[in-house]
Structure 1
Amino acid sequence: MTQLPLKAGTKLVLASHNKGKLAEFSTLLADFGITVLSAGDLDLPEPDETETTFAGNAALKAVAAAKATNLPALSDDSGLCVSALGGAPGIYSARWAGPDKDFPAAMVRIHDGIGPDERDAWFICVLCLAFPDGTTHLFEGRVNGQITWPPRGKKGHGYDPIFTPEGETRTFAEMEEAEKNAISHRARAFKAFREACLD
């Protein structure tokens, strides 16, 4: 893959208002001399996620931030997909939890919607790097696994307590952060991004 122009000293906008995500990406990119600015700190509006795919929503956010700041921008879109639910909640993973982010209720909704032998699931993360001229590059990470019931573990966030990745007996929420980050969908997407853009 062609090297992409992200050099030490580059300022990169993270197209997110999520402070946790900003901290995560700032740490990941610090070793490469990349300064990460957040869309929230720059008072950029959050565009409506109107696309029907992870890649579409990631691109929508990154392109908007790149054009607004005249800087390269990075965004991600991610979610849990359950085979027996036709890939749902998918791009609507956050919305299934409602405005109050009630993920316990969303996990019950998943459990109630599938049978005992319909456990196949996967997490997907798509990163989009966009430049002010509208050029975009996409990087996808996926981790396959199973829906686990009842939920287990207090670590992590979102749907982590009901997802056991392939090759593991623990859910994401039972793993230490460093363990999860080594195998997660976001880690795999970031690895592809790093290899293309930074190494």
Structure 2
Amino acid sequence: MKKLVLATDNENKINEIKDILSDLPIEILSKAEIGLENLKVIEDGKTLIDNSLKKAREISKHTDYLVVADDTGLFVEKLDGNPGVYSSRYAGEDGNDKKNVELLLKNLNGEESRAYFETVICLITEDKKEYIVSGKCFGKVLATVRGENGFGYDPVFLPDGFDRTFAELGSKQKNEISHRRKAIENLREILIQLLGEKDENTCGK
């Protein structure tokens, strides 16, 4: 069975990926489970791809397993795409979810705006080939906070086709439509192809 290391120790991310990939012959591990819990990567890239690649490459230096890393951003139309790649540190390196949301609403000055979330995932194979997939969720940023669930910008993001924010939907329903879910589904297709190629090569010998 192949082993796949996630460049995260976030239990929610790990469980979501495990669920979507549960039917594949892959054992999913956190970086802590291979002894890299203290490995920190500075996310200073100018794009989501830059950051996800940087994290994946750093982990891949220390293992011969499959490696997956992701980065996510909220892109707001009226703010020229900001906070974008800087979403997690929008209010500064010492900021947090609450401060990030407060700054976002302040900069929108009481207005709503079209926006989308995007998650980019980088996969590095055992032989160091790199694959990039992504997923988006479109909607709008509200002028006020709504909901108690979720994290990040969930309380102000209203996905298209819904009358509740991500924070009001709850994790189960959010995860069914989220940008991260779509990206992981695309990752799943790449892994199926890789596993199929391995099986074909094995049968051909």
Residue among 12, 16, 21 paired with 1:20: 12
**Match status 1:141 vs 2:143:** no
Mapping of residues 1-199 of structure 1, within 5 Å: 9-44=1-36, 45-98=39-92, 102-198=96-192
In the TM superposition, residue 117 of structure 1 has moved relative to its aligned partner by: 4.7
Aligned residues: 191
Q: Identity, % of aligned pairs?
A: 36
Aligned to 2:199: none
Please, what is the CA RMSD of the aligned residues?
A: 1.9
Contact 1:67/1:131, CA 8 A, preserved across alignment: no
In the TM superposition, residue 115 of structure 1 has moved relative to its aligned partner by: 4.3
In the TM superposition, residue 193 of structure 1 has moved relative to its aligned partner by: 1.4
Moved over 4 A (4+): 97-101, 115-118
Q: TM-score, normalised to structure 2's length?
A: 0.85
**Distance in 2 between residues matched to 1:28 and 1:181, nearest whole Å:** 10
Q: Partner of 1:126: helix, strand, or coil? A: strand
Q: 1:185 to 1:17 in 2, by over 3 A?
A: same
**Distance in 2 between residues matched to 1:163 and 1:40, nearest whole Å:** 32
Structure 2's unaligned 5+ residue stretches are 194-205
Structure 1's unaligned 5+ residue stretches are 1-8
